[in-house]
Structure 1
C-alpha cells in the first residue's frame, strides 16, 4: 500500500524536482504539501509549490506556513535558486493555495491518521513541522518516519559549520530529534553523491518525458555550478530524501546520535553526528551514508518522465 505522506518544503529548485519525484511515485500517497520561506521568501515558495503540484496534475492541497524561523528571520539563497526560487524557469500558475496555516493542516491530517502510519518528509527549514508538534506532541505517535534533507557530518554550505536548512532554524530541527520517532537524515555528505554535471544533464535530456520532465531539465540547466566542488557541477539535495522514502535499497545507512547546535556563535546550526558512537548515547537517527547515484538518476528520470 502507498505510504500516506506529508511533504514540507521551500521551493527552491531541488524542492521542485523532489516534489515531482514524490508525486510520480506509487510508493507514496502525498496527502498534503506545506510550505515555508527559506530558499526564497514565502510568497515565492508558496507560488512555486502551487505551480509544481499543478503542473503534475495532482489534486494535493498546498498550504502556506511560516515566513520566518522560530527565533529569527530566514535567510534566502537567491544566488543558487534565483530571485524567483526556481532558477528563472517559467511554470504555469498553479491552483490556489488551500486555506489555513501549515501547522494546523499538519495537525489535522495527523489527528485523522492511524498510529505509526504517516511519512513526514522535510525539505526545508523545519519550522512548520516544529510548530505542529510543539503544540500537540502526542501527534508524533501517528508518524511512521520523519525524513529530512538537513545537516552535515563534515562542513556546511551556508557557514563553515552548518547546512542551509539546519542553520535557518536549528531550534525547530532540534525539536524533531526529541520527538522519539524514527528519523532519517540526508545530509550534505550524502547529497554530494547525487552530483550533477553538464554531461549528466545532457544524458538525462535524452530520456523521454512530458512537461514535468522538461521543466525539471530546465531547472537542472539553470542551476549554477558549486564553488565547493570546483565549479564542476552541483549536488542535487532534496530528491535524495524523497528517494529514501520510495527506494531505500539505493542507500547505505548507519544508526547515529545527532545533536543540533542552537547557540548563537559560529557553530549555530551544526549537526553534531556521532557516527562512531564515541559519546556512548543511544542513536536517534538513521544517517544515509552512501547512494547508488546511477540508480538514483535512473529513478528520477523514470518517475518524473512518467508525469504529464
Structure 2
C-alpha cells in the first residue's frame, strides 16, 4: 500500500524538488498540497506549486492556498540580513512554464481539518515551510494531534543557521506557529534540520547527470539545483565545492527510505522572545532541561542514498 502524505509548502527551488519526488515515487501517494507565505508571498508559492505539477504531468493533485502572513507578527516580509539568501535562492517564479492550472477554492486550513477528520487511512503531514498553516489548523481542530500519525518537518538548526546566526528560515518566519506545533503533543514528530540537510548536498556534477535524464523532473531538478549552487557558492559556500542542499526533498526521501537520515530523540522547543535568538530551534542534546523528549531529530544524512532515490525516481515519467 502506498504511503499517503500531504505536503505543506512555500514553493521555491527545494520545495519544487520535494513535490516532484512525492508526486512521482511509486511508493508514495501525494494526496494534496497546501501552500503558505514563506519563500515568497503565498500566491507565488501557489503558482509555483501548480507549475511543478503541470510540468511533471500530475495536474490531478489538488493545491490549496493557505495563510498569507504569520500567526502573530505583522512585519513579514521583514528586512533581512545583507545579501538575503532566501530571496536570491528562490525569487518569485520558478524557471518553469506558466500554467493554466488553478488552486482549489477551499482554504488550506479547511482542507487540512476536513481531510484528517474524514480519512480512514493514515496520512503523513510534511511541512517544509513556515508552520503557520499547521498551527492555525490545530487551533481550529486540536484533535489533529491524534488524527495525524506523523509530522515530518523541514526546519530548524542546532549548529547551523541560515537567516540569522541562530535561526533557520522556516522556524524564524513564524516562531509562534512553530512553538505551537512543537508543543501540541504529537505522538510522532520528526524534525529534519539544516544539520542533516547540509550533509545531503547535491553537486554541480550530479546536476548535469539529472539534466541528462531528459525527463521533465530531471531537467527541473537540474535547473533549480544549479541555481541554488550558484547562489550558495557566492553567499553561503558549502563544505563540498560547487554544491548545495535541497532541504525539503530530504523529508520526502525519508518517507521512501527512512535510513536516508539518522534520528535521535530529544526535547525540542522554539525561542519566541530573544532579541538575538528569536526563531532558534532549541534542541536539548545534553538533556539539561526538564522537558520530556518530544521529537525525533536528524543530525546526519546519507547523501549517496538521497541522490540515488531521486535519480531513479526522476528517470521515470508520470
Name the counterpart of 1:38. Answer: 38
C-alpha separation between the residues in 1 aligned to 2:209 and 2:61? 31
Matched, 1:166 2:171: yes
Name the counterpart of 1:277. Answer: 287
Using structure 1 for the length normalisation, give the TM-score.
0.93
Name the counterpart of 2:311. Answer: 301
Which contiguous aligned blocks of 4+ residues in structure 1 show a shift greater than 4 angstroms?
A: none
The secondary structure found in structure 2 opposite 1:120 is: strand
Name the counterpart of 2:23. Answer: 23
C-alpha separation between the residues in 2 aligned to 1:75 and 1:187? 22
Name the counterpart of 1:255. Answer: 265
Using structure 2 for the length normalisation, give the TM-score.
0.90
Matched, 1:191 2:217: no
C-alpha separation between the residues in 2 aligned to 1:267 and 1:145? 28
Report if aligned partners of 2:154, 2:248 keep a CA contact under 8 Å in 1: yes
* 1:298 CA drift (Å): 1.0
C-alpha separation between the residues in 2 aligned to 1:228 and 1:79? 11
**CA RMSD of the aligned region, Å?**
1.8
155-164 or 228-237, larger mean C-alpha shift: 228-237
Name the counterpart of 2:102. Answer: 96
Name the counterpart of 2:130. Answer: 125
C-alpha separation between the residues in 2 aligned to 1:258 and 1:209? 42
- The 1:163/1:189 distance shift into structure 2, 3 A limit, reads same
Matched, 1:74 2:83: no
- The alignment covers a number of residue pairs equal to 303
* 1:71 CA drift (Å): 1.5
The secondary structure found in structure 2 opposite 1:277 is: coil
* 1:90 CA drift (Å): 2.6
Match of 2:218 among 193, 213, 219: 213
C-alpha separation between the residues in 2 aligned to 1:28 and 1:60? 13
Gapped runs of 5+ residues in structure 1?
Answer: none
C-alpha separation between the residues in 2 aligned to 1:10 and 1:292? 25
Matched, 1:228 2:233: no
* 1:6 CA drift (Å): 1.1
* 1:201 CA drift (Å): 1.7
Report if aligned partners of 2:199, 2:300 keep a CA contact under 8 Å in 1: yes
Matched, 1:200 2:206: yes
Match of 2:92 among 83, 91, 109: 83
CA shift digits 1:223-244 (9 cap, x unpaired): 2332332674321111011111
Matched, 1:175 2:180: yes
Report if aligned partners of 1:254, 1:287 keep a CA contact under 8 Å in 2: yes
- The 1:94/1:303 distance shift into structure 2, 3 A limit, reads farther
15-24 or 244-253, larger mean C-alpha shift: 244-253
C-alpha separation between the residues in 1 aligned to 2:56 and 2:109? 24
Match of 1:288 among 293, 298, 301: 298
C-alpha separation between the residues in 1 aligned to 2:183 and 2:290? 17
* 1:220 CA drift (Å): 1.5
C-alpha separation between the residues in 1 aligned to 2:277 and 2:237? 22
* 1:302 CA drift (Å): 1.0
* 1:30 CA drift (Å): 1.3
The secondary structure found in structure 1 opposite 2:298 is: strand
The secondary structure found in structure 1 opposite 2:265 is: strand
The secondary structure found in structure 2 opposite 1:91 is: coil
* 1:94 CA drift (Å): 4.8
C-alpha separation between the residues in 2 aligned to 1:265 and 1:175? 20
The secondary structure found in structure 2 opposite 1:137 is: coil
* 1:278 CA drift (Å): 2.6
